[in-house]
Amino acid sequence: MPALNVPILIVGGGGCGLTTSLLLSNLGIDHLLVERHVTTSHLPKAHYLNQRTMEIFRQHGLAEEIYAVGTPMPLMGKVRWCTTLGGQDALDARTFQTIDAFGGGELARTYLKDSPGPSSNYPQVRLEPLLRRHAEARAPGRVLFNHELRHFTQDTEGITATVIDDKRGKTLTVRSQFLVAADGGKTVGPQLGVQMQGPTNLGRILSSHVTADLSAWWDETCLITWFINPEGGGVFGSGAMVPMGPTWGRHSEEWVIHCSVAPDDPERYDEVAVIPRLRALLKLPTLEIKVHKVSDWALDAVLADRYQVGRVLLAGDAAHRHPPTTGLGLNTAIQDAHNLAWKLAAVIRGQADPALLATYEQERRPIGMRNVDWALFTATNHAVLDAGMGFPPLHSATVRRAHFELFFADTPMGATRRARAAEVMATQRTEFQAHDLEIGFAYAAGALLPDGSAPPARDPMGGRYVPTTRPGHRLPHAWLHHAGARQSTHDLVGQRGGFVLITGAAGESWRAAADAAARTLDISLDTVVIGTAHTTDIGNEWAAVCGITPTGAVLVRPDNHVAWRCQADSPDPQGELLQALRAVLAR
């Protein structure tokens, strides 16, 4: 059988691989995705979709569909810590603390000011089928499940891969220019000798995906409930619980419960034995529970030593694996795809030198490192919460119960313990209010041209975001009235992978410069002049964050990161812009 020739081969049909596929389709780039499993994941994995991810989905025509089926913000804007859901004991169904999370409650004004896309929540077990449906529709016949990569080689011209159609037992030879490894690090990276660096097996987590009617006990304003009780000990010893939908709030049909488990526990996969465990945890002894899946997994915090090996580029879990705290795994993976897709498209089209692809690792690996470190930090901080509430993890259940009684006692010392706990629990905002970490990350070097300015100071606790058009940063969001409609500055960059030059009301000279640069380099480059009848600055939001004079200009990449800016007028706008674009495109 002759080889199938495609520009890009994607290995892996999870959230990262499917997102890469549908982004490439929008960019007009032919590709093939192969996934060894028959279906998308049936495990209860990630669920929180942060604002940066929702901005990407907004750009590529997915956000509204996800908002329509995902958790409404009033039902996901808090997290809490409590002892149990039910029970008749004096310590049962007691709440330690509730805090705002993910842009809900008091956070809403800030989150909505800084982004056109609110956070969302849609479990990966439901999100992946949605992504697959879009990927298949946008690339008919190019998304192949039940197809396994068995072997590949690369040479100076491309990749030759052997793919097995497991259903038909047929062999397919695929020839591509590049390979995107989105396979979770299972095949491609190990074959290339890529090392995952960092601590592994920090613990084992048991995840139980179940159906149960908890409408009589659930606080529907909370997305995550953490349990701390005398029997289970601290947070990870007792567990955490998240609604899985498809109905949200107290009437959610499905749930996932995570808790630590001994690696040698003989019953950890037993779907019958897990039911009494869950009933005991929740203190609901007669609760009817249907178990869908029980799985256990290792708590790792690892980063690939390389994101690129020749013509192979690693993304998602193949490049970084995180503890689940802060919800950074899937979000970082989707943002990897966003960074990589436009660069692959520019190279395939001949608009950029292949050296542009080296900027993928240059930009994304430091973000992967930061996010792995952050997830590990927020995971281990749960032990600080236990200590801050005065709950010694190594003591007997009897001693722990005595501490719980002191905590809830209607005494001056009880009030002091609760006040201390509130202060300590506020430190976990690093997990649930990581606004700057989620949208304020920036690339220090890569497909950009620094302008010598200093970056804004970052909040070490990850919360306070400072918008800036400094090169390498995400374009600040501001509402405009553009082309007859209310649009975000993010909407100026569409799905097709072009650049946008934003200038002020006195910057008309940049339009001619942009037109000339686009012709010279054969690229798509639109010019938007803000402050004219065609494009107005609603509420002067853009003026407050643009960082340029009315004669300056900001060059925005296809992934809505700033590539270059000229803060005031230029004596040679055409030459300066052309030089910047050549640098960004490695030309």
Condensed to tens digits (0 to 9), the pLDDT of residues 211-230 reads 999 999 999 999 999 998 88
What pLDDT was estimated at residue 275? 93
The answer, yes or no, to whether residue 346 has pLDDT greater than 60, is yes
Residue 304's pLDDT band (boundaries 50, 70, 90)?
A: very high
Q: What's the mean pLDDT when you consider all of the chain?
A: 94
Closest CA to 347 of 577, 6, 4, 7: 7
What residue type is assigned to position 143 of the chain? Answer: V
Split at pLDDT 50, 70, 90, the class of 46 is very high
Token pair for 413: 């010392």
User: What does the CA dihedral 32, 334, 320, 205 come to, rounded to 10 degrees?
Assistant: -110
pLDDT in tens, 379-407: 999 888 888 888 766 677 788 888 889 99
Q: At what angle do helices 328-348 and 358-388 cross, to 10 degrees?
A: 170
Name the CA radius of gyration of the chain, rounded.
Answer: 25
Lowest-confidence pick of 51-65, 378-392, 413-427, 466-480: 378-392
pLDDT digits 0-9 by tens, 4-26: 999 999 999 999 999 999 999 99
Alpha carbon distance 396, 233 (integer Å): 9
DSSP 258: E
Amino acid 399: pLDDT: 85
Please name the residue that has the structure tokens 């949208």.
439
Share of residues in the chain with pLDDT > 70 (%): 97
Please tell me which residue, 100 or 269, carries the higher pLDDT value.
Answer: 100
Q: What's the rounded Cα separation, in Å, for the pair 231 and 398?
A: 9
Torsion of CA 515, 521, 522, 525, to 10 degrees: -40
Q: Report pLDDT digits (tens) over 414-459.
A: 999 999 999 999 999 999 999 999 999 999 999 999 999 999 999 9
Q: Residue 533: what pLDDT?
A: 87
Please report the pLDDT score of residue 463 as a whole number: 97
pLDDT tens digits, one per residue of 495-543: 888 999 999 999 889 999 999 999 999 999 999 999 998 999 999 999 9
Render pLDDT for 231-260 as a digit per residue (tens, 0 to 9).
766 666 678 999 999 999 999 999 999 988
Helix residue ranges, H only, 522-555:
541-545
Cα separation, 84 vs 260, whole angstroms = 17
547: β partners: none
Contact 255, 214 (CB under 8 A): yes
Which tens digits make up the pLDDT trace of 126-184? 999 999 999 999 999 999 999 999 999 999 999 999 999 988 889 999 999 999 999 99
Helix 358-388 crosses helix 412-426 at what angle (to 10 degrees)?
180
Q: What is the pLDDT of residues 544-578, one digit of tens each?
A: 999 999 999 999 999 999 999 999 989 999 999 99
pLDDT of residue 233: 63
Buried b (16+ CB within 10 A) or exposed e, 434-443: bbbbbbbbbb
| Mean predicted confidence (pLDDT) in 181-208 | 94
In the chain, count of helices (H) and strands (E)?
Answer: 17, 27
Domains, the chain, ordered by start: 4-70+123-197+302-374 (3.50.50.60), 442-584 (3.40.30.120)
Query: Quick check: 474 pLDDT over 80?
Result: yes
**The pLDDT value given to residue 24:** 98
- CA–CA separation, 352 and 222 (whole Å): 47
**pLDDT interval class at 263 (50, 70, 90):** low
pLDDT at res. 43 = 83
β-bridge mates for residue 240, sequence order = 226, 258
Strand residues in 215-343 grouped as ranges (E): 222-227, 239-245, 254-260, 290-298, 302-304, 308-309, 312-314, 320-321
Q: What is the mean pLDDT of residues 319-326?
A: 95
User: Which region among 200-204, 306-310, 395-399 has the lowest average model confidence (pLDDT)?
Assistant: 395-399
Output the pLDDT for position 401: 87
- pLDDT at position 267 is 62
Q: What share of the chain is helix, strand, coil (3-state, %, to 5)?
A: 35, 25, 40
